[in-house]
Amino acid sequence: MTKRPLDILDQVLNRQPVIVSLKGGRELRGVLQGYDVHMNLVLDKAEEVIEGGQVRSVGMLIVRGDNVIYISPSVE
């Protein structure tokens, strides 16, 4: 059976970290708590990955969907 993109997000919801790439070159990592059809995201334990591999803890974060380039399950 072919999986739809939102089915993949359902599999990682509240389970494992995801990586979110945003417009402007920013990248976030956190546990996906929720999303909608516009790709608005709620991330818990969010971290911003800064150039050079540094990580800045952000906590809970709401990301507006029109800023999202891609979202992917984390391989960590």
Does 12 map to a domain? Answer: yes
Does 74 map to a domain? Answer: no
Length of the chain (residues): 76
Q: How many domains does the chain have?
A: 1
Does 17 map to a domain? Answer: yes
- Over its length of 76 residues, how does the chain's per-residue pLDDT go in tens digits? 567 777 778 888 888 899 999 999 999 999 999 999 899 999 999 999 988 889 999 999 999 999 999 998 887 6
Q: What is the DSSP string of 36-65?
A: -TT--EEEEEEEEEEGGGEEEEEEEEEE-G
**pTM of the predicted structure, to 2 decimals:** 0.84
Contact 44, 30 (CB under 8 A): yes
Domain CATH number, residue 51: 2.30.30.100
Does 11 map to a domain? Answer: yes
Looking up tokens 């992917």, which residue turns up?
Answer: 72
Looking up tokens 């800064």, which residue turns up?
Answer: 50
The domain containing residue 42 runs over which residues? 5-65
Does 59 map to a domain? Answer: yes
Does 71 map to a domain? Answer: no
